[in-house]
A and B are shown apart, each in its own frame.
Chain A
């Protein structure tokens, strides 16, 4: 995140305007990514097939990376390809691709993750601010904690039920036949 990137708002707006074709099934993802790599200044290279569960998100991310700011720089092909190939799998398993178009938080998360993968930070933010905000929105990290919480929450839920019953019994005991 050592370099300044585009303003975050331009990226989130671009995601919100993602064409429906990018969300439709059956698109040739590898071809889209191949063209993207060329537009980002890369050379003709073979794009390995993407796993089925990641294809939707890869398409949305490809739409994001096709932003004029990235294309004009003509130096992001390699990190972009690496991110698309390996950086989105965990996220794709947790969040449906259309959420990154329709949900404001997820749009911001994907835009920030994209910038971080390219070694950039949003325009006008410090590295610390960018890292802090990305951490706040990080779905993968949150899911890991939630999975850890699940066992604890199950116990807490049983405890809550027990406490609820006890409270009801105590309330009942307050009254006695007149």
Chain B
């Protein structure tokens, strides 16, 4: 271990204590050579953090080259600050980046840079003022002339924050506008220190003017300081990003942000409320990519609809069977590593051998069954048919309410223990469906979030294939088809179309529902009644947004019916 490494390790407890006496974090990883840095993905900067494994990585090689030996506590405390203050975790990192991106139209690729600068300002100001660390000293040590106007403003912000004379951290003649921007940004950093995510958008707008003067991907003077641009990279998808937060869209320049108070700085802009409640799928995918999430785009779209569906989940209908079965212990069997850990009978395992070797000395109890007195709930399987003809929008481009409604019902069904078969159909033309009834959420949602854009309606022959073929579903199934008025044309055009629909509802055994998006139901009144007469429930919606409310009510209605024993 080098003297420098030992000295910086000795600084670690003080750096942790700068935030709180109770802060705990794994010790930093030190890189001594370029090869070490490459192994840790440390490029350009002399330090970095990773949120997914809570790592702090320091290049002692670059610390020595920049003559920063004396700033061990400052630099380590700064890196710790990224873990405990800004951005602190993957979700807040994603929220930060989302707001920064909203403030950087056409320069979204610089969102990582701007987010990093903003988080650094918050952290350094806290450490300089509250922890008494010499953060200014670090910048003074690396002081160099620069023609980069954003870099000039950035360092001037620190001078304003810490009441340092102009020229302490940057030798440059700043324009009046740069001076004002620095003063505004300093005020923003203080004003939003607690609710820091909300300040990110206005800060990005302030930076945009200067970014537009710079060449693409030019990081220049910022390079050594960019320690958190890849903080969110990895295979984890942060939760809760499908929804938009209030005032996230269209952030305003700090000069026109009333939240900054102080002076009456004019009314050129006002902070608007949220317009949409959710991101569009393309925005969601772009955000995840900018975070460095290494997951296929199609899977991200599935995740998007899943996130939007989760708040709406309710229990899926279950049918009462005559009798349930009570478990009857029948002895022990070797617990295999593929089985749930919770099934291990630890007492019996340790009685057999004090040395635990998974799969060899681990045992689980085996149960038989005996007839019980309580009725059991049998979940009804779900057949979900979704019209994916030319009249439906591509769920990858814009939020699709039929897909969201399908996701709500699907996830409810799976949660209740049912199996689901999904079928997208745009016929005449194409269809795609799962390979039978599945418990695999990803495969079902994968089909749902696909897109065909062919034909004019859901194909009634799909019901024939599934329910009237040689192997109809063995378990009671509810057939749910989401389509529009064109289904009547389909039922009339296909040979025995109405008869197929009637028999499919009978064979399914768990009920059948058509959800029809029809703006003028009176015009189709006769056909709607005919559907009801052949055993289908018909639910009418006049807008696609109503499908979400239907999806919730669908589960609730059936569940309540079962509870009443009907």
Min CB distance A141 to B, Å, is 8
**A143 at interface (Cβ–Cβ under 8 A)?**
yes
- Contact between chains at B282 and A149 (CB < 8 Å): no
B451–A153 touching, CB < 8 Å: no
Q: Given A136-B183, A153-B253, does the pair A99, B261 have CB atoms closer than 8 Å?
A: yes
CB–CB A145/B176 < 8 A:
yes
Q: Which of A136, A143, A154, A160 contacts B208 (CB 8 A)?
A: A160
- Is B209 interfacial (CB-CB < 8 Å)? yes
Total cross-chain contacts (CB, 8 A): 104
> Is A133 at the interface (CB under 8 A from chain B)?
yes
Q: How far is the CA of A147 from the CA of B263 in the complex (A)?
A: 12
> A99 to B208, Cβ gap below 8 A?
no
**A136-B183, A160-B105, A172-B282 known; A153 and B268 CB under 8 Å?**
yes
How many chain A residues sit at the interface, stated as a range, is 35 or more
Q: In the complex, are the beta carbons of B265 and A172 less than 8 A apart?
A: no
| Partner of B283 from A139, A142, A153, A171 at Cβ < 8 Å | A171
Does A168 make an interface contact (CB < 8 A)?
yes
Q: Which residues of A contact B262 (CB under 8 A)?
A: 95, 99, 103, 105-106, 139
Nearest B residue to A147, CB-CB = B266
What are the interface flags for A136-178 relative to B under an 8 Å C-beta threshold, 1 for contact and 0 otherwise?
1101011101110110011011011101101110011011011
- A128 contacts B165, C-beta separation under 8 Å: yes
Which of A141, A145, A153, A164 makes the CB contact (< 8 A) with B105?
Answer: A164
Q: Would B263 and A143 count as touching, CB distance under 8 A?
A: yes
Shortest beta-carbon distance, A124 to chain B, in Å? 12
What residues on A are CB-neighbors of B221 within 8 Å? none
Question: Which residues of chain A come closer than 8 Å to B286, judged between CB atoms?
Answer: 171
Cβ–Cβ < 8 Å partners of A105 in chain B:
187, 262
Other-chain residue from B183, B261, B280 in contact with A142 (beta carbon distance below 8 A):
B183
On chain A, the residues within 8 Å of B265 by CB distance are: 142-143, 146
Residue A10 interfacial (CB < 8 Å) = no
Assuming the A-B contacts A168-B282, A172-B282, are A103 and B261 also in contact, with contact meaning beta carbons closer than 8 angstroms in the complex?
A: yes
Query: A142 contacts B269, CB within 8 Å?
Result: no
Q: Is B394 an interface residue (CB 8 A)?
A: yes
Assess whether A149 is in contact with B180, with CB atoms less than 8 Å apart: yes
Q: Smallest Cβ distance from A72 to chain B, in angstroms?
A: 27
What string of 1s and 0s marks CB contacts (under 8 Å) between B137-176 and chain A?
0000000000000000000000010010110000000001
Q: Which residues of A contact B208 (CB under 8 A)?
A: 156, 160
**In the bound complex, CA of A168 to CA of B249 (Å):** 13
A135 to B, closest residue via Cβ:
B179
Most chain A CB within a 10 A radius of its CB, from B177, B250, B253, B398:
B253
- Taking Cβ atoms with an 8 Å cutoff, the residues of B that contact A are 105-106, 108, 160, 163, 165-166, 176-177, 179-180, 183-184, 187, 205, 208-209, 250, 252-253, 255-256, 261-266, 268-269, 280, 282-283, 285-286, 394, 396-398, 450-453
Kindly list 15 other residue pairs between chains A and B, CB separation below 8 angstroms, not including A150-B256, A177-B394. Answer: A106-B262, A133-B163, A137-B183, A145-B176, A146-B180, A146-B255, A149-B180, A150-B266, A153-B255, A153-B256, A157-B252, A157-B253, A161-B250, A172-B282, A177-B452
Which 8 A-B pairs rank lowest in CB-CB distance, beginning with the nearest? A163-B105, A171-B282, A163-B106, A164-B105, A177-B453, A150-B268, A145-B180, A139-B263
Residue pairs across A and B with Cβ atoms less than 8 A apart, 13 shown, are: A99-B262, A106-B262, A133-B165, A142-B184, A143-B265, A149-B253, A150-B255, A154-B268, A156-B209, A160-B205, A177-B452, A178-B450, A178-B451
Residues of A in contact with B (beta carbons under 8 Å apart):
93-95, 99, 103, 105-106, 128-129, 132-133, 135-137, 139, 141-143, 145-147, 149-150, 153-154, 156-157, 159-161, 163-164, 166-168, 171-172, 174-175, 177-178
